[in-house]
Structure 1
């Protein structure tokens, strides 16, 4: 007999719609999974079983079944406030903080009919690309618990990969959805800047941070993205004058059909190449080459792109990354509770001169234009998802900020520039290494080009037969 966590999210949604299972039954099943498994994984910062069951009953009795995420379990990333639930932001400085109101993204998934089971783990203030902070146990990779799950949406990815959730929302300011999704063998979607009203990126520094889904297959990711964009149905109610152009969705049908032939550019250069020693390991190259073979065999136009160095990128992005830490709401004696990397970033960020920040923002705006112009001949551009296999827990230097930054760049050089350019991207698992760890690729679309990405990702997923794979022993 198939257990509920073995179904895809779309299949669970269909079971709910047919009333073959109730929101309460579904919540109870996944809460049971969390109770049994999370001690070995560390995917959750907080679990809220009583509130989850109460919410599931409310959904059953009062929320219309037409709500796009009706009865579906998920977890809020612990960077997002939910009224009455501890919000620790991955930091010891916020151990006792319980907000009185909820963030917009939390309200959006509620409006879509979802049932939150708690808060997924994140590193301190979501700054690093790994989830191994001091506020809780490290988040481990379900494919190999000696390895990290990536970050900053590492808890969300680990929970989905191990079957503790069917899917989960995350946030991505430099790769924080795509990195853990790729590390844990999942599909992670970073939408276009402006696409998700409750996580548009338009109000963040340099427009970097957006909200998107993490799921075990392409259709499940589309289902969650549809619910995040427009809880009450399309068209989405955007509140900014600027928003992503292109197809507004919904995307689920596109992801299921996976149709079309496209021009796909392929590249392995990154804007970090001039400043750091970037090298693809054998497993990353193997997954990338296999995806090229698949797309070529499906009849897509596949063309290698010549490198275009961007020597100004590392300094400009570092300035923004550090300046973003300047707004961390911790001052005075409370700074002693911050981790060494966060303190280093905060000190550097608060020392950034206004002129240097303005120059970095201007430079990155020009970079965005150049990237979009470079990618314009293609419907999508493919890179490796990660340059290295997921490193072991404890691999990152927690004391030396400069070395830590270099390690993060060498692990994941292909993600941050997509945030700067505001483009949509999706990571798709392709194959497993000899050690049994998934490796995948990243597909980057045109502004507002999510539909094309879902079509390409679905075709790749069908051919490599990796949709909805569970790690062994979970």
Structure 2
């Protein structure tokens, strides 16, 4: 089954192909879908992105389970987007520049926030306009790239969750880089306005959950809920929860 529209629909008030209601799709967990597998990230040209063995293992488990369920699985060829890191940083910094903080109060900000604010105040109107225009084109390219699939599968995270204190508490720019390296597959989904869910599928040797991300078409939430429900049943994690619950 294939659902939704194949086009790039920027500025749509209601996504074409909106296939709700969603509760039924999540409960029934039915359907056969075409799933693309994506391992490249638009951050690849700006940062050293490494996907850990644990993240790859979780992805491989999801691929195997979807294959057993009869879904079509296809590896996607990488499509570099070297302009993404600069454009994303520009709009992120420009947004931070609107935070109402001045003078001595700036010292109260965390280093990451202070770095974003300082850089954002130096962003010109032209730089911001160029970044927004570039990301608008990027959005269309992503939707077009994904249009052959009902969902696209990626690792949810590049590495297991880091321990408390791992993020640099002094260097804001390095802290930003660490966040990119930990979550290189999620920001571009927000930029593209696409629906997505994450599903835990395995535990690390330390008992930490590792999962996968499913990205849908515009308005394709029901397919994601159906796929997520099917995967949950296969990995038998639906009723698992922390011991403190």
**TM exceeds 0.5?**
yes
List gaps (5 residues or longer) in structure 2.
1-9
Scaled by the length of structure 1, the TM-score of the pair is: 0.48
Q: How does 1:311-350 map to 2 (within 5 A)?
A: 311-350=82-121
Q: How does 1:390-469 map to 2 (within 5 A)?
A: 390-469=161-240
Q: 2:151 aligns with which of 357, 371, 380?
A: 380
How far did residue 248 of structure 1 move?
Answer: 5.6
Q: Which residue pairs with 2:136 in the alignment?
A: 365
Q: Secondary structure at the match of 1:429?
A: strand
Is residue 96–residue 116 contact of structure 2 (8 Å, CA) maintained in 1? Answer: yes
Q: 2:66 aligns with which of 295, 298, 316?
A: 295
How far did residue 332 of structure 1 move?
Answer: 3.2
Is residue 156–residue 213 contact of structure 2 (8 Å, CA) maintained in 1? Answer: yes
Q: Secondary structure at the match of 2:165?
A: coil
Is residue 156–residue 211 contact of structure 2 (8 Å, CA) maintained in 1? Answer: yes
Q: 2:44 aligns with which of 263, 269, 273?
A: 273
Q: Which residue pairs with 2:34 in the alignment?
A: 263
How far did residue 413 of structure 1 move?
Answer: 0.2
Count, aligned residues: 236
Q: Which residue pairs with 1:242 in the alignment?
A: 13
Distance 2:38 2:115 in 1: 33
Distance 2:218 2:231 in 1: 21
Task: State the Cα deviation string for residues 223-273 of structure 1 (Å, max 9, x = none).
Answer: xxxxxxxxxxxxxxxxx9723233363311110000000000001110011
Distance of aligned partners of 1:442 and 1:317 in 2 relative to their CA distance in 1, 3 Å threshold: same
Distance 1:336 1:324 in 2: 19
Q: Secondary structure at the match of 1:366?
A: helix
How far did residue 445 of structure 1 move?
Answer: 0.3
Distance of aligned partners of 1:374 and 1:241 in 2 relative to their CA distance in 1, 3 Å threshold: closer
Q: Secondary structure at the match of 2:35?
A: strand
Q: Secondary structure at the match of 1:389?
A: coil
Scaled by the length of structure 2, the TM-score of the pair is: 0.92
Task: State the Cα deviation string for residues 344-386 of structure 1 (Å, max 9, x = none).
Answer: 1111111111100000000000000110111000000000000
Distance 1:317 1:378 in 2: 26
How far did residue 335 of structure 1 move?
Answer: 2.2
Distance of aligned partners of 1:248 and 1:267 in 2 relative to their CA distance in 1, 3 Å threshold: closer
Q: Secondary structure at the match of 1:264?
A: strand
Distance 1:448 1:382 in 2: 17
Q: Secondary structure at the match of 1:302?
A: strand
Who wins on radius of gyration, i.e. which is larger? 1
Q: Which residue pairs with 2:6 in the alignment?
A: none
How far did residue 330 of structure 1 move?
Answer: 2.0
Q: Secondary structure at the match of 2:55?
A: helix
Is residue 112–residue 176 contact of structure 2 (8 Å, CA) maintained in 1? Answer: no
